[in-house]
Amino acid sequence: MNDDLILLGHGSGGVLSHKLLSDLIIPALSGTPLSGQDDAAVLNIDAGRIAFTTDSYVVDPIFFPGGNIGSLAVNGTVNDLAMVGATPLYVSCGLIIEEGFSRKELSAIVTSMRQAADLAGVRIVTGDTKVVPRGKADRIFINTAGIGAFVTGQPLSGANAKLGDKVIVSGTIGDHGIAVMAAREGLSLATEIQSDCAALNGLVNEMLAMAGDSLRVLRDPTRGGVATTIKEIAVQSAVTITLDEAALPVDPAVRGVCSILGLDPLYVANEGKLLAVVAPAAAEALLERMRQHPLGKNSAIIGEVATAGVGKVQMKTAVGGVRSVEMLAGEQLPRIC
């Protein structure tokens, strides 16, 4: 028997399953008093109101510059909780593994899940492992769910943007999407573009402490990119948002790759960036605080809520023109020439 590979038996619920859990997964992921093997984790949450989210991760390739599917799964769920203003506490982990997957890679993935959880200050408290026959999954899929508590304050919502509010992005856009695409397609780039995959709850804590109720909306612009997320906010809040193209932070390498492939960085995915809509009086001070945080050092005010009503997004182009910004339709596909 090849000990290096995951076999169907590892998902059978029998001896092999138990050995995989006790030898590899539980030591990597948990190792805390909460890691008993009962049917459910029993959690202490001191809050009258909790946030609860789930997401599935099917990224290809599973390892990319700046992260892997494991760190992505933890950070993604932590960020979903942080974006409503909740303090992320507990995360679950469901692994769907294709028969024949490398045990070494599985170990690397769960280890980075643990590291990401520790960095974010959350605990992985429950999980599930299934092994499916070869060809029935693309190497490994991960589902994570998360619970967060509202220690102080009210939940944030995309519907809170008001006339005059400023829109802030926490750093350069499109890094994750281009890093993954370059790794997937084997594009040889002069500089390696790193994914921005990171947990944003630390940054959010500081933002909430600084701006309080002046912070109206937080969203992480993942799939669909900044354009789609801002359009969603505009629609949810029934406002028109005007973006300033010249103010949008884009890494020159990302801009170059986008230019070659005919992609718009405004529509490329991010995994460690957030968009904030904030009352105008608090905007500059919040921006300064964000720039002092390692995950917010390239923060910029990129636009404002121009008018109430409608649900439109417009862009003042860098050269002085105006165009509209819509949601991503389908997926961005590289062009012919």
Partner 1 sequence: MKYQDEYRNRELVQGLAAHLENLVAGYAGTMTFMEVCGTHTMSIYQYGLRGLLPAQVRLISGPGCPVCVTPNSYLDKAIACCRIPGVVVATFGDMLRVPGTSSSLMEERAKGADVRIVYSPLDAVKLAATNPQLKVVFLGVGFETTAPTIAGSILAARQQGLGNFFVLAAHKTMPVPMAALASDPELAISGFICPAHVSTIIGADAYQPLARDYQRPCVITGFEPADVLQGVAMLAAQVVAGESRVEIQYSRAVKPQGNPKARAILDEVFAPCDAEWRGLGMIPGSGLAIREEFASFDAERMLPLTPELSREPTGCRCGDVLKGKITPFDCPLFEQTCTPEAPVGACMVSTEGTCAAAYKYGR
CA–CA separation, 310 and 307 (whole Å):
8
Q: Which stretch binds partner 1 (CB under 8 A): 3-11, 24-32, 89-97, 326-334?
A: 326-334
Bridge partners of 301?
168
Using alpha carbons, select from 100, 94, 98, 6 the residue that is nearest to residue 56.
94
Give yes or no for residue 333 binding partner 1 (CB under 8 A).
Answer: yes
Closer of 116 and 325 to partner 1 (Cβ): 325
Give yes or no for residue 58 binding partner 1 (CB under 8 A).
Answer: no
Q: Which stretch binds partner 1 (CB under 8 A): 66-74, 88-96, 157-165, 250-258?
A: 250-258
Q: Give the other-Cβ count within 10 Å of 134's Cβ.
A: 11
Give yes or no for residue 321 binding partner 1 (CB under 8 A).
Answer: yes
Give yes or no for residue 307 binding partner 1 (CB under 8 A).
Answer: no
Give yes or no for residue 40 binding partner 1 (CB under 8 A).
Answer: no
Q: Which stretch binds partner 1 (CB under 8 A): 35-43, 132-140, 144-152, 324-332?
A: 324-332
Tokens 């679950």: give the residue. Answer: 92
Beta carbon of residue 83, minimum distance to partner 1 (angstroms, whole number) = 26
Question: In degrees, to the nearest 5, what angle opens at C-alpha 330 toward C-alphas 137 and 227?
Answer: 115
Q: Give the other-Cβ count within 10 Å of 236's Cβ.
A: 16
Contact, 320 vs 312, CB < 8 A? no
The token pair at 285 is 């001070």
Beta carbon of residue 238, minimum distance to partner 1 (angstroms, whole number) = 17
Give yes or no for residue 135 binding partner 1 (CB under 8 A).
Answer: no
Q: 23: which residues sit within 8 A by CB, 6+ positions away?
A: none
Beta carbon of residue 99, minimum distance to partner 1 (angstroms, whole number) = 21
Give yes or no for residue 136 binding partner 1 (CB under 8 A).
Answer: no
Rg (CA), the chain: 21
The token pair at 284 is 């500059």
Give yes or no for residue 252 binding partner 1 (CB under 8 A).
Answer: yes
Beta carbon of residue 301, minimum distance to partner 1 (angstroms, whole number) = 18
Closer of 33 and 252 to partner 1 (Cβ): 252
Q: Give the other-Cβ count within 10 Å of 92's Cβ.
A: 17
Site for partner 1, residues 168 to 197, rule: CB under 8 A? 185, 187
Beta carbon of residue 93, minimum distance to partner 1 (angstroms, whole number) = 30
CA distances from residue 268 to 58, 93, 189, 195, 258 in whole angstroms, order as listed: 17, 26, 17, 12, 9
Residues in contact with partner 1 by CB under 8 A are 185, 187, 246, 252, 255-256, 259, 261-262, 264, 315, 317-326, 329-330, 332-337
